[in-house]
Amino acid sequence: MSEVAKPKRDGRNERSAATRRLVAEAYLALVGDGFLRPTARAVAKKAGVSERAVFRHFQDLETLLSEAAMIQIQRIGREVPEPAPLDGPFELRLDRFAQRWCELHERVTPVRRAAILYEPFSPEVARRLGWIRGVRRSEIEQTFAPELAPLAPQLRRETVAVVSAACSWSTWNQLRTRHDLDAAAAHRAVRRSIAQLLGVASADVAGDVSGAGTDAAL
């Protein structure tokens, strides 16, 4: 039998891809160090390449942000816990869900702060942040399906939205920076909020927010 010819490696393309990754990683490193809008010169210096190389491999900021986002997603995928189980006791699902998203928010905080600055002007950043919100809502709907199932459609939608807000990066950042909670305390607060919100939703089904009850409370 004749040997199957191995595809030839394109050294130039490999070097180009390696340089692109090096530049994108340098950008992420600078953002992680607190430089939310690093210059091309700073990125080039951090990557150990010429400033010209930065512009040659990234024609505009959007392409650099896209490459950096892909690297960030790969890193986070390896570092944060797996999604919560879809069955089992509520407490277990709650623990795993809260742990996953709190750890994710803590790890992405430097990059997320930079993303806030770029979001109004960058379709790439806006798209990525929208994707993350979609993933979070999907995981809420799947992880807490037993608790959400009895709810009327509108109440279910509202509950998913408010739980998503409670475990968002914005809430995490408020707890960590505005209210001076350490990571463990912020984690407990998020976990408790999710449990209470889902509990309130269950109470709503039982009629605790019926029209008459609301009038009485007012």
List, for residues 61-90, the tens digit of each pLDDT value: 889 988 998 898 888 888 889 999 999 999
Confidence of residue 209 (pLDDT cuts 50, 70, 90): very low
Question: Quick one: pLDDT at residue 7?
Answer: 55
Average pLDDT over residues 175-201: 95
Confidence of residue 13 (pLDDT cuts 50, 70, 90): confident
Q: Quick check: 208 pLDDT over 80?
A: no
Average pLDDT over residues 182-206: 88
- Residues near 124 by beta carbon (within 8 Å), at least 6 away in sequence: 62, 65, 66, 69
As a whole number of angstroms, the distance between CA 21 and CA 23 comes to 5
Tokens of 9: 């490696």
Question: Quick one: pLDDT at residue 214?
Answer: 36
Question: Quick one: pLDDT at residue 120?
Answer: 92
Closest CA to 164 of 176, 172, 175: 172
Angle between helices 123-143 and 153-166 (to 10 degrees): 120
Confidence of residue 59 (pLDDT cuts 50, 70, 90): confident
Confidence of residue 217 (pLDDT cuts 50, 70, 90): very low
Q: Give the DSSP letter string of 27-39.
A: HHHHHHTT-SS--
As a whole number of angstroms, the distance between CA 134 and CA 121 comes to 20
Q: Quick check: 130 pLDDT over 50?
A: yes
Q: Quick check: 211 pLDDT over 50?
A: no
Average pLDDT over residues 20-26: 92
Question: Quick one: pLDDT at residue 60?
Answer: 87
